[in-house]
Structure 1
Amino acid sequence: MPYSPGIVYQLSPAPGERCIICNTAITNGFLVCSIECAERQLQSTPLVPLRQYHRAYKDVVSRLRAQWKHSTSAPTVRAVYAVITSESSNTTYLDYRAQVESKRHCTRLNFRPGNERLRWHGSFSKCDLANIGTKICGILDGCPLCSILRESFKVEKYQGGGLFGRGIYSTATSSKADNHAHISRGSYRALTLASVVAGYGKQLSDENHGLTEPPAGYDAVLGIPRAGGTFLYDETVVYDNDAIRPVFLIVYG
């Protein structure tokens, strides 16, 4: 299968498309031409900047704006980067997705395999994002954003305080994710757009801070706000590292 930096992300094939790394012509809608090209890129950085005229750039910006539900205006996007993940990381993700699909048969219900979806994630950054370019900071343990970009999401790095226990949180609401995009340097902020295998999600409208895995018979928790409830925006929570991978980094402000 052709390599894609975000396994869920594939555009409809169009003439004139080229690999975002090496500029080789591609015809399948993926962003990267091959595993070999991606692995060479990873030797320097996992981030590949997208040009503003690229269809993926326009799509990501459109999603950010359309899914900004707070009263404030959607921010100005400074840059969009594809996040390249390694072949081994992709393999474990795809294996997990296949396992969920074999149990839940999501495609029979016209969902993507494993009920895969794109979701926003905001995290703390110690980087000066105005000058990040394609650099990943060296503060691996102290900068959650760069840790995600370098080695994906890790349940074991959960810091506590989530509505649904010890898991990896994401949301369909970009402005909600922005509330968690804390920075310690500079004035720019960043969100990650991630591929998430939600499978059969347990819908919860009340907090359950004691969870360390999905309820029996489920693959994820879906936080659904209700009138008079304690939270206002949706949550998608997974409890397995292989259920989620970063796809894009969006820098804005």
Structure 2
Amino acid sequence: MGFSTLLSSSQRLVTHTSKRPSPVSPHAHGAPLPQPVPVWAPFYVLPFCPHTVFQDARRYWLYPVNHHPSYPPNQQHALSRSMLTMPSNACPQCQRQPKHPDYRFCSVACGQSAARSAPELKYLYPHHELSVTIATQFMRCWGIGPRPTVLAVYTITWTESSQRSFKQYRDAVEFRGQFKRNGFFPGNEQKRFRSTVRACTLGEGANVSPCYNEACWMCETIRCGFEPHLQRKRSVPSNGPGIRLGAGIYTSHSSSKAAQYAENIHDPESRIKAMLVCRVVIGTPFVTCQEDPTIRSPPLGYDCVYGEPGDHSAFREDEYVVYNADAIRAAYLVLYETAPGA
């Protein structure tokens, strides 16, 4: 089985070349310590972190810290900083070796290990290159309304079968469209934002495993993919809500657009929200400025439908709709805090 089958490929990222401090052992201060428990803790700005979103020392960052009531305060502080001195390209699975330049993990072994325990969230340190890239895209693509604060970024692991079906679909679209020869990623794959109902605290504190609450559509998506959502959409009548472009899976280039659908039904007053960053096989999009709730698949020769915004368009912001569950996978989760009063 090929390397690309076992590991989820990501768009090529630029590795920061600033000098990085060597990782500090969590046992550098004496005897082995108790099992770490993720808690709220202050975020320390590192000199090689280039992303201004994280450089507000007054904010707090939700990241795993070796914190225990028996630790001396100065030891807690040192351990917190030691975790943030991890290399910015560390493999999210083993956290020891540098990740492969074209993949999320460092090796086939780490990819297989992640797939065996999938699906789950893998925390990305604020200065990790994947975290910086996703948070930067999230903030730059926020168009309307007060900007939120990014609290944490996670990568979402996939089972081997989920990886395989996504790759097979993408390869088929690439074979038809030959996008790579024109400088695009295979299948014209792109990252797009999507939000939905969350009925738990996934992403907060130590909660990195999706729940089984039937009302939690976010965890359902992470566990089961988009097929259950697609089936629900197909049961909605053509005059029902949320089907401006038919019964498909909707994403957007705009994070503020996606945020309109972020709903915490477990705590409606909470300002902490979660958003998915999805890998979407766009292929050849059919561009339209008109709503058509009767669509069930793209027109012949196209792979998705793109609602293009404009002065004479029915769409204020862009919408990409795919009609095949294998065309899309949830790849990252962004935890963020909305602005007061937003």
TM-score (normalizing by structure 2): 0.68
Paired residues of 1:18 and 1:31 also in contact (CA < 8 A) = no
Q: CA deviation at 1:231?
A: 2.0
Paired residues of 1:64 and 1:74 also in contact (CA < 8 A) = no
After superposition, the Cα gap between the structure-2 partners of 1:125 and 1:230, relative to the gap in structure 1 and judged at 3 Å, is: same
Unaligned runs of 5+ in 1: none
Q: CA deviation at 1:122?
A: 0.9
Q: CA deviation at 1:137?
A: 1.4
Higher relative contact order (CA 8 A, sep 6+): 1
Paired residues of 2:99 and 2:106 also in contact (CA < 8 A) = no
Partner residue in 2 for 1:20? 92
Aligned partner of 1:213: which letter?
A: S
Is the partner of 1:128 in helix, strand or coil?
Answer: coil
Pick from 172, 175, 200: which aligns with 2:284?
Answer: 200
After superposition, the Cα gap between the structure-2 partners of 1:14 and 1:49, relative to the gap in structure 1 and judged at 3 Å, is: same
Give the distance between the partners of 1:193 and 1:94, measured in 2 at CA: 18
Give the distance between the partners of 1:227 and 1:102, measured in 2 at CA: 35
Asked which structure has the greater CA Rg, the reply is 2
Give the distance between the partners of 1:147 and 1:250, measured in 2 at CA: 17
Paired residues of 1:117 and 1:196 also in contact (CA < 8 A) = yes
Aligned partner of 2:97: which letter?
A: A
Paired residues of 1:8 and 1:117 also in contact (CA < 8 A) = no
Q: CA deviation at 1:108?
A: 2.2
Q: CA deviation at 1:45?
A: 5.0
Partner residue in 1 for 2:336? 252
Q: CA deviation at 1:44?
A: 6.8
Give the distance between the partners of 2:199 and 2:99, measured in 1 at CA: 39
Give the distance between the partners of 1:175 and 1:58, measured in 2 at CA: 18
Pick from 73, 77, 82: which aligns with 2:155?
Answer: 82
Give the distance between the partners of 2:117 and 2:11, measured in 1 at CA: 23
After superposition, the Cα gap between the structure-2 partners of 1:151 and 1:39, relative to the gap in structure 1 and judged at 3 Å, is: farther
Partner residue in 1 for 2:35? none
Pick from 116, 120, 145: which aligns with 2:189?
Answer: 116
Aligned partner of 1:201: which letter?
A: P
Partner residue in 2 for 1:179? 260
Unaligned runs of 5+ in 2: 18-86, 338-342
Residue 13 of structure 2 corresponds to residue 11 of structure 1: yes
Q: CA deviation at 1:163?
A: 1.3
Percent identical residues? 29
Q: CA deviation at 1:79?
A: 1.1
Residue 222 of structure 2 corresponds to residue 222 of structure 1: no
Give the distance between the partners of 2:152 and 2:90, measured in 1 at CA: 19
Residue 220 of structure 2 corresponds to residue 136 of structure 1: no
Paired residues of 2:119 and 2:159 also in contact (CA < 8 A) = no
Partner residue in 2 for 1:125? 198
TM-score (normalizing by structure 1): 0.90
Query: How many residues are paired up?
Result: 250
Paired residues of 2:194 and 2:252 also in contact (CA < 8 A) = yes
Q: CA deviation at 1:85?
A: 0.6
Paired residues of 1:125 and 1:143 also in contact (CA < 8 A) = yes
Give the distance between the partners of 1:45 and 1:242, measured in 2 at CA: 16
Aligned partner of 1:54: which letter?
A: H
Give the distance between the partners of 1:132 and 1:192, measured in 2 at CA: 18
Is the partner of 2:265 in helix, strand or coil?
Answer: strand
